[in-house]
Amino acid sequence: MKKKHLFWLLLPSYWGLTAVAIAAVAFYAFHSMSDLYFKTLENDIHTRALLLADHVEPLASSKDHPAIDELCKKLGKAANTRFTIILPEGKVIGDSDQDPSVMEYHDDRPEVRQALGGNMGIDRRYSRTLKQEMMYVAVPLKGDHFETLCAVRAALPMTAIRAELNSMSVRILGAAILTGLLAMVVCIIVVRRITVPLRGMSRAARYFAEGEFNHRVPAQQTLELNELAETLNTMSAQLNKTLTSLGEQRNEQQAVLSSMDEGVLAIDRKERIIHMNRVAGNILGVDHKGVKRELVQQRIRYANLQEFIKAVLGAQKSVSMDLTLSGEAEKQIQAHGTVLRNAEEESIGALIVLRDVTQLRHLETVRSDFVANVSHELKTPITSIQGFVETLLSDDWNHDPNALHFLEIIHQQSGRLNAIIDDLLTLSRLEQQEGHVLKEPCNLEHMLSNSIDLCQLQATKKNIDIRMDCPVNLILDINAPLLEQAVVNLFINAIKYSEPDKTVRVHVENRPAGQVAISVEDEGFGIENKHLDRLFERFYRVDTARSRKLGGTGLGLSIVKHIAQVHNGTVTVESKLGKGSTFTLVFIGASSESLNVP
Ligand code: ADP
């Protein structure tokens, strides 16, 4: 619907209302005036009729009709009034203007009929006798016995009143038109007084909407409009304050996001980019400024990252993944995604943090290669040193007890060195294998029995009992040699760090979502809480001297952690000093067969 100006909406109604009021007043004034005129004329004629009746009464009693007619003519002329005397049967016996003998019976005239009935009669009509509009008033004339002798009628022409009324109506109409015109002008002024300030305020509101908050609505004359103007000004000031603070907040956030070393990518539920910081743009090779509201598929050409974003949007918790972005220069990326939520905790998209770890991975590879190379290089000389020392110890080369003692030490230390090199090589292999480890269905109970067999000698030496609790025929997709090595490392530690005559328990548990947990529990020395976080780091030992004495390399648990990782699993530890420790390996290894195992 087409919108009208308030001015054109108010003005016609104001005008209409004023016109109706003026018309009503004019109509009422005209009618009151004409009523007054007629009433005055009526009273005047009534008085004349009564006066005539007084004069006619004696003549009527004596039935002197010619005298009555003469009286009518005489007084009618003197008073400029038409007088008529009518007998009860309607016969006219006197008339100021006509000869009564030629006049028709008047008993049918309304005023005469009323007067002959005993009341005063009034009528206005056109007189055919006088050929003009007349007002008639007739009064009864009573005899001594209250019988109606005749009706005395007086009449005056209404021409003068009609002329007066006509001129009055012209004057009233003129006054009404003048008042109407004046009222129209006043209406325009009044309506403008409402609409002009409102238009000013709507203009100001438009300025505010366009962000020009310095504009002010001037003070208004009326209380209500002034209040509205003040409210608008306050609202603008508040808006300005809020927008400034929002702008500052946004700038701060932008500054934080753009100075971050990580790439940040915010995506909405429809996979449109909400925000991309500079680093993310650099990592992904796109201009971070021109990507807002664009679809991920249009701007990010890496299929694996697109899939990762889809996975985060579908997930309820954080997801992390290492990704390789292949292009001109291959990039290694660590991607971490979390669900973006609004104030009502509803998911509105995903937040992806990208870390370019290409350099880091390169350094890790260099370090890992270096360790592998050094270990390889050391392995051969150490093996030959060990061989020669063993030869020297076994043959009768030297019988000097001191020399034998030293040879024993060299043998022992080279053995340790060999063990360290073996562990380092194992770790290097695990690092290189990460993600490419071959897994095959394997009976876990058999694998654990093999592991126990491998440690049995050490256990027997300390009279330690190893007990196993594992579901029979549990078939898992695992790399059996590696997992066996991990379990052996845990058994060896459990035996090493326990007093003799204790028990080591291995317990296997099927958990939901195809997870399997292998726990190795001992009754050994236990570990203080403060060490637990760092226990799986390379060469980290709780008691270095004791570990060395017991032949430890400081790499056993690190190897366990890597083996858990290559199985997409974790290893955790719970321990109480003096009570014992429990190491738990958790990984997804359930094959379809194993899920049927009770
Ligand atoms: P190490 O070759 O010294 O045993 P590990 O990496 O296997 O090296 O273990 C790291 C350290 O954790 C050990 O030096 C030892 O102090 C502690 N530790 C490992 N397993 C146990 C255990 N079952 N009970 C007590 N302490 C343990």
Pocket test for ligand 1, best of 525, 541, 546, 577 (most atoms within 8 A of CB): 541
One digit per residue, the tens of pLDDT, for the chain of length 598 reads: 677 788 888 888 889 999 999 999 999 999 999 999 999 999 999 999 999 999 998 888 888 899 999 999 999 999 999 999 999 999 999 999 889 999 889 889 999 999 999 899 999 998 877 788 999 999 999 888 888 889 999 999 988 888 988 999 999 999 999 999 999 999 899 888 888 888 888 888 898 888 888 888 888 888 888 899 999 999 999 999 999 999 999 899 888 888 888 999 999 999 999 989 989 998 988 888 888 888 989 888 899 999 999 999 888 788 899 899 988 788 999 999 999 888 888 888 999 999 999 999 889 888 888 888 888 888 889 999 988 888 888 866 666 788 888 888 898 889 888 988 998 888 888 887 776 788 899 999 999 999 999 999 999 999 999 999 999 888 998 999 999 999 999 999 999 999 999 999 999 998 888 889 999 999 999 999 999 999 999 999 988 888 888 878 899 999 999 999 988 899 999 999 999 999 999 988 755 444 333 3
CA of 423 to the centre of ligand 1 (A): 14
State in Å: Cα 409 to ligand 1 middle.
23
Residue 493 CA to ligand 1 centre (angstroms): 6
For 67, counting Cβ atoms within 10 Å of its Cβ (0-12 exposed, 13-18 middle, 19+ buried), the class is: middle
Greatest C-alpha distance within the chain: 202
Ligand 1 centre distance from Cα of residue 542 (Å): 7
Q: Is the CB of residue 541 below 6 angstroms from any atom belonging to ligand 1?
A: yes
What are 208's two structure tokens?
């505010």
Measured from the Cβ of residue 463, the count of other Cβ atoms closer than 10 Å reads: 10
**Residue 559 CA, closest ligand 1 atom number:** 6
User: What sign does the dihedral 248-251-256-262 (CA atoms) show?
Assistant: positive
Can you tell me the distance from the alpha carbon of 418 to that of 557, in angstroms, rounded to the nearest whole number? 18
CA pair distance 454, 248, nearest whole angstrom: 67
Distance 21 CA to ligand 1 centre (A): 107
Question: Cβ(556) to ligand 1 under 6 A?
Answer: yes
CB 313 within 8 A of CB 349: yes
Q: Which residues contact 140 (CB under 8 A, 6 or more apart)?
A: 115, 116, 117, 118, 119, 120, 148, 150, 151, 152
The answer, yes or no, to whether any atom of ligand 1 lies below 6 A from the CB of 498, is no
Q: Is 521 in the pocket of ligand 1 (CB under 6 A)?
A: no
- The pTM (predicted TM-score) of the whole model is 0.54
Give the rounded distance of the alpha carbon of 358 from its chain centre: 42
For 103, half-sphere exposure in the C-beta direction (CA atoms, 13 angstrom radius) is: 22
245: CA distance to ligand 1 center in Å?
Answer: 56
User: Which residues, other chains included, contact 577 with Cβ-Cβ below 8 Å and sequence gap of 6+?
Assistant: 525, 526, 527, 528
Classify strands 465-469 and 503-511 as parallel, antiparallel or unpaired: parallel
Q: Name the closest-CA residue to atom 8, ligand 1.
A: 554
Q: Is the CB of 547 under 6 A from ligand 1?
A: yes
CATH of domain 435-594: 3.30.565.10
Nearest CA to ligand 1 atom 20: 493
Cα 271 to ligand 1 centroid, rounded to whole Å? 48
Residues paired with 570 in a beta bridge: 586
Which atom of ligand 1 lies at the shortest distance from residue 524's CA?
24
Which DSSP letter does residue 286 get?
S
pLDDT for 454: 94
Spatial distance between the Cα atoms of 168 and 170, rounded to a whole number of angstroms? 5
The rounded Å distance from CA 504 to ligand 1 centre is 15
Rounded Cα distance, 262 and 394, in Å: 62
Task: State which of 492, 529, 547 you would mutate to test the pocket of ligand 1, scoring each by most atoms of that ligand within 8 A of its C-beta.
Answer: 547
Atom of ligand 1 nearest to the CA of 498: 24
Chain-centroid distance, C-alpha 354 = 30
Question: Which atom belonging to ligand 1 lies closest to the Cα atom of 489?
Answer: 7
pLDDT for position 199: 86
- Percent of residues in the chain assigned helix, strand, coil, to nearest 5: 55, 20, 25
Q: Sheet holding 132-142: strands in order across?
A: 92-95, 82-86, 148-157, 132-142, 121-127
Distance 556 CA to ligand 1 centre (A): 7
Domain 7-164 has CATH 3.40.50.1820: no
The CATH number of domain 260-351, selected from 3.20.20.70, 3.40.718.10, 3.30.450.20, 3.40.50.720: 3.30.450.20
580 lines ligand 1 (CB under 6 A): no
**Ligand 1: centre distance to CA 553 (Å):** 9
Q: Ligand 1 centre from 560 Cα, in Å?
A: 11
Q: How far is CA 24 from the centre of its chain?
A: 56
